[in-house]
């Protein structure tokens, strides 16, 4: 995850409390989603950014996961996300995200 | 009258030592984690010049292999040897580091680049053999200075070292004592960009056969900024590079838009020519040192060589309609507007389906789409996937939503209307434009009738706006009836014969 984005996530977690923050991802595939999710839960796996060794344990989802999809107005989702839903390997993303949440999510 | 693509050049410079010393992944790591395993392992993953010559995507970039031929080679490509390993191709060349360092010195007009005299003596004869170099450029290369003085400049005067095979062979001095915009680091980055742009311009003149004096305007679309503390992005890389390249009749300016820069510049060039403001405009860009080894950590972790060891550059020559060369159709322009939004669906609609709809065309009326043509050999191991393929899937999905193709034909679409990425991950370099050279040939040969070039840019990286950006345009077969008045049928026949001859020559060269 981009170093600047890590810094912003860390600051939001400090400002609002980690229990009040949900990180929503739009990454294009499972591995990248998993890496970003790991960064905001267990810390930066590349040991490069501000979240290195910082276990925020935030709730983190991908926009194509069913829990998030059901929160949307279906018309907006069709307009904004349905094309990507057709393109992405949603099952792979769900598996990666679920695995990371089960291991590291604290909330 | 529509403007035409007279030709394009594509060049690479192999800069392995700059990967280690100037790529931001490496320079950041040296600050944050100086004793890291990555920095220790990295030198063992650097490729030799021979290896980069026989790397498939590089041979496609300079035009010795086609995208179709590349697509037929099973991925990954880093462990395969291309059967062609020529340094020169029909679009340009792959310059070795030693010649590139000399070219950098030739491109410096403020006496900032210093080279070791022994290094100059050893490598200047090789640069003199380069068919795109001429006396005016070679005469700009000095005899060099003592190696001990270079070492002193680097250790005491904040100069940026220039290395070859691990040895200090030169440096770039700072251009001001306290202005960070003129620091040695920034000057190094900008001179590399300028030198690779100069090489692209010289190659474009060489491959198209135009006279240098014909060029009236140059647009630079790289992603660097030059200026001082009072005008940090003051600019005009374009004119600076045109000067060294000997384009004496040209003025120019810079167009910026992150990775979308080249597509913006191409549309501007076409508009300038179509309006009659200038007869010949060249769009050019040099490469970027910061992005060298950008995904190096993933490549090293996975046991791959460092594949981001090439500085890229390109130039496209846009001229008045000659009745033969492919036309840029400014009536079919895609644009991501302020109000478009940043969801991928909105972005692709604005760039691909909206302009086609306005022109009464279907997605399938475009024979080839050229979006972000990043080499997947580089991006896949880094977790970024196959970028062109991701774009094609989105275009295909939109085509299905519009009813242009049936869902069952999705797979067919992503084999017929697509290209496999071959461009180095140098930001603006892979963005749409790598196909223009091949598109011109495919259109001249009648293999395709329309190609869409798509540029996208991540404006939010500059922290001035959260917006995304992009523009697209269509290159099409010349309608043939647009030959300028006063040109005889004989002249047109002559032009067609010349184009056919060039095409036959490329076919013969490929057969060889």
User: What average pLDDT does range A83-104 have in this prediction?
Assistant: 94
Alpha-carbon span B109 to B118, nearest angstrom: 22
The residue of chain A with its CA nearest to that of B32 is: A48
CA distance B343 to chain A (A): 6
CA distance B95 to chain A (A): 32
Give chain B positions within 8 Å (CB) of A47. 33, 36
Q: With an 8 Å Cβ cutoff, are B345 and A79 in contact?
A: yes
- The model's pTM: 0.88
For B103, phi and psi rounded to 5 degrees?
Answer: -65, -35
DSSP B156: H
What sign results for the dihedral spanned by CA atoms B97, B103, B107, B110? positive
**What pLDDT is attached to residue B497?**
76
Q: B126-138 pLDDT, tens per residue?
A: 999 999 999 999 9
User: What average pLDDT does range B93-115 have in this prediction?
Assistant: 98
Token pair listed for B104: 């950098």
User: What average pLDDT does range B390-417 have in this prediction?
Assistant: 91
**What pLDDT is attached to residue B512?**
60
Nearest to A81 among B29, B343, B384 (CB): B343
pLDDT band at residue B510 using 50, 70 and 90 as cut-offs: low
Q: B228-239 pLDDT, tens per residue?
A: 999 999 999 999
Q: A34-80 pLDDT, tens per residue?
A: 999 999 999 999 888 999 999 999 999 999 999 999 999 999 998 88
ipTM more than 0.95?
no
The residue of chain B with its CA nearest to that of A33 is: B383
User: What average pLDDT does range B8-33 have in this prediction?
Assistant: 97
Find the angle CA(B432)-CA(B81)-CA(B422) to the nearest 5 degrees: 5
Alpha-carbon span B16 to B99, nearest angstrom: 13
Strands B368-370 and B327-335: unpaired
**What pLDDT is attached to residue B437?**
98
Q: Say if residues B64 and B86 touch (Cβ distance below 8 Å).
A: yes
Token pair listed for B373: 């043509």
pLDDT band at residue A28 using 50, 70 and 90 as cut-offs: confident
Q: With an 8 Å Cβ cutoff, are B345 and A48 in contact?
A: no
Alpha-carbon span B321 to B4, nearest angstrom: 5
Nearest to A83 among B36, B297, B401 (CB): B401
Nearest to A87 among B32, B36, B394 (CB): B394
Cβ-proximal residues to B313 (8 Å cutoff; 6+ apart), any chain? B10, B11, B12, B13, B92, B196, B197, B199, B200, B284, B285, B286, B287, B429
Q: With an 8 Å Cβ cutoff, are A35 and B383 in contact?
A: yes
Q: How many CA atoms lie within 13 A of B436 on its CB side?
A: 34
**What pLDDT is attached to residue B213?**
98
User: What average pLDDT does range B82-101 have in this prediction?
Assistant: 98
CA distance B23 to chain A (A): 15
pLDDT band at residue B383 using 50, 70 and 90 as cut-offs: confident
The residue of chain A with its CA nearest to that of B38 is: A46
**What pLDDT is attached to residue B207?**
97
Strands (E), B147-256: 160-164, 167-172, 217-220, 251-254
Average pLDDT, chain A: 94
The residue of chain A with its CA nearest to that of B36 is: A47
Q: With an 8 Å Cβ cutoff, are A48 and B29 in contact?
A: yes
Q: B314-362 pLDDT, tens per residue?
A: 999 999 999 999 999 999 999 999 999 888 899 999 999 999 999 999 9
Considering chain B, what percentage of its residues have pLDDT values greater than 70? 97
User: What average pLDDT does range B178-195 have in this prediction?
Assistant: 98
**Res B181 pLDDT > 50:** yes
Q: How far is CA A17 from the centre of its chain?
A: 17
User: What average pLDDT does range B467-485 have in this prediction?
Assistant: 83
Give chain A positions within 8 Å (CB) of B344. 26, 83-84
**What pLDDT is attached to residue B483?**
45
Q: With an 8 Å Cβ cutoff, are B346 and A86 in contact?
A: no
Q: How many CA atoms lie within 13 A of B308 on its CB side?
A: 34
Give chain A positions within 8 Å (CB) of B390. 28, 87
Q: How many residue pairs bridge chain A and chain B with CB atoms within 8 Å of each other?
A: 48
Nearest to B100 by CA among B55, B130, B59: B130
**Res B451 pLDDT > 60:** yes
pLDDT band at residue B490 using 50, 70 and 90 as cut-offs: low
Alpha-carbon span B418 to B396, nearest angstrom: 10
**Res B173 pLDDT > 50:** yes
Q: Which run of H or of E encompasses B9?
A: strand B4-14
Q: How far is CA B230 from CA B111, B180, B181, B234, in A?
A: 22, 11, 9, 9
Alpha-carbon span B437 to B418, nearest angstrom: 16
Strands (E), B280-408: 280-285, 310-319, 327-335, 368-370
CA terminus-to-terminus distance, chain B = 39
Angle between helix axes B97-107 and B184-208 (nearest 10 degrees) is 100
**What pLDDT is attached to residue B511?**
64
Alpha-carbon span B118 to B132, nearest angstrom: 24
- A63-67, B412-416, B443-447: least confident range: B412-416
The residue of chain A with its CA nearest to that of B381 is: A31
Average pLDDT, chain B: 95
Q: B45-82 pLDDT, tens per residue?
A: 999 999 999 999 999 999 999 999 999 999 999 999 99
**What pLDDT is attached to residue B493?**
74
Query: Which residues on adjacent β-strands are paired with residue B168?
Result: B163
CA distance A87 to chain B (A): 6
For B158, phi and psi rounded to 5 degrees?
Answer: 65, 20
**Res B482 pLDDT > 60:** no
CA distance A60 to chain B (A): 19
Site from A83, A84, A88, A93 to mutate, B interface, most B CB atoms within 10 angstroms = A83
Nearest to B393 among A35, A46, A87 (CB): A87
Torsion-angle region of B443 (φ positive above 0: left; ψ -120 to 50: alpha; else: beta): alpha
CA distance B62 to chain A (A): 30
Q: With an 8 Å Cβ cutoff, are B385 and A82 in contact?
A: no
- Find out whether the peptide bond into B76 is cis, omega within 30 degrees of 0: yes
pLDDT band at residue B496 using 50, 70 and 90 as cut-offs: confident
**Res B484 pLDDT > 50:** no
Nearest to A29 among B29, B385, B397 (CB): B385
Considering chain B, what percentage of its residues have pLDDT values greater than 90? 90
Give chain B positions within 8 Å (CB) of A80. 341, 343, 345-346
């Amino acid at each position: 995850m981009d170093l600047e984005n890590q810094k912003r996530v860390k600051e939001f977690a400090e400002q609002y409390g980690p229990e009040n923050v949900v990180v929503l991802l739009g990454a294009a595939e499972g591995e990248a989603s998993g890496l970003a999710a790991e960064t905001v839960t267990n810390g930066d796996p590349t040991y490069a950014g501000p979240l290195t060794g910082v276990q925020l344990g935030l709730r983190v989802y991908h926009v194509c996961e069913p829990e998030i999809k059901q929160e949307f107005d279906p018309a907006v989702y069709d307009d904004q996300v349905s094309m990507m839903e057709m393109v992405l390997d949603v099952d792979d993303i769900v598996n990666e995200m679920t695995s990371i949440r089960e291991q590291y999510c604290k909330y | 009258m529509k403007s035409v693509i007279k030709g394009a050049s594509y060049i690479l410079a192999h800069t392995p030592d700059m990967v280690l010393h100037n790529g931001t992944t490496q320079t950041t790591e040296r600050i944050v984690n100086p004793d890291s395993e990555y920095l220790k392992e990295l030198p063992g993953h650097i490729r030799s010049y021979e290896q980069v010559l026989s790397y498939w995507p590089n041979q496609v970039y300079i035009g010795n292999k086609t995208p179709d031929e590349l697509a037929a080679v099973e991925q990954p490509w880093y462990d395969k040897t291309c059967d062609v390993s020529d340094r020169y191709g029909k679009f340009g060349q792959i310059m070795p580091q030693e010649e590139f360092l000399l070219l950098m010195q030739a491109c410096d007009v403020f006496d900032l680049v210093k080279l070791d005299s022994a290094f100059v003596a050893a490598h200047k004869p090789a640069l003199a053999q380069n068919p795109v170099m001429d006396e005016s450029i070679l005469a700009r290369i000095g005899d060099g200075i003592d190696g001990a003085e270079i070492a002193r400049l680097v250790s005491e005067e904040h100069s940026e070292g220039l290395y070859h095979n691990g040895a200090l062979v030169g440096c770039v001095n700072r251009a001001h004592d306290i202005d960070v915009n003129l620091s040695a680091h920034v000057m190094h980055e900008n001179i590399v960009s300028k030198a690779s742009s100069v090489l692209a311009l010289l190659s474009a003149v060489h491959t198209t056969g135009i006279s240098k004096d014909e060029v009236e305007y140059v647009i630079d679309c790289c992603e660097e900024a030059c200026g001082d503390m009072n005008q940090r992005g003051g600019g005009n890389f374009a004119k600076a590079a045109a000067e060294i390249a000997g384009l004496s009749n040209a003025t120019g300016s810079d167009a910026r838009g992150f990775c979308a820069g080249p597509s913006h510049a191409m549309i501007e060039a076409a508009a300038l020519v179509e309006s009659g403001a200038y007869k010949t405009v060249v769009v050019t860009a040099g490469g970027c040192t910061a992005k060298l080894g950008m995904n190096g950590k993933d490549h090293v972790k996975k046991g791959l060589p460092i594949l981001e060891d090439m500085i890229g550059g390109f130039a496209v020559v846009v001229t008045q309609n000659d009745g033969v060369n492919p036309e840029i159709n400014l009536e079919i322009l895609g644009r991501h507007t302020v109000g478009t939004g940043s969801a991928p669906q909105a972005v692709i609609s604005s760039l691909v389906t909206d302009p086609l709809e306005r022109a009464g065309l279907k997605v399938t009326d475009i024979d080839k789409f050229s979006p972000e043509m990043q080499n997947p050999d580089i991006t896949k191991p880094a977790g970024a996937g196959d970028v062109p393929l991701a774009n094609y899937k989105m275009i295909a999905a939109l085509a299905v939503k519009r009813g242009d193709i049936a869902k069952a034909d999705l797979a067919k679409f992503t084999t017929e209307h697509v290209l496999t990425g071959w461009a180095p991950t140098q930001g603006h370099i892979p963005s749409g434009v790598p196909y223009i050279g091949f598109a011109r040939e495919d259109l001249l040969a009648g293999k395709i009738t329309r190609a869409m070039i798509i540029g996208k840019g991540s404006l939010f990286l500059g922290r001035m706006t959260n917006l995304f950006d992009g523009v697209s345009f269509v290159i099409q077969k010349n309608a043939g009836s647009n030959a300028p008045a006063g040109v005889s049928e004989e002249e047109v026949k002559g032009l067609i014969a010349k184009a056919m001859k060039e095409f036959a020559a490329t076919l013969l060269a490929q057969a060889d």
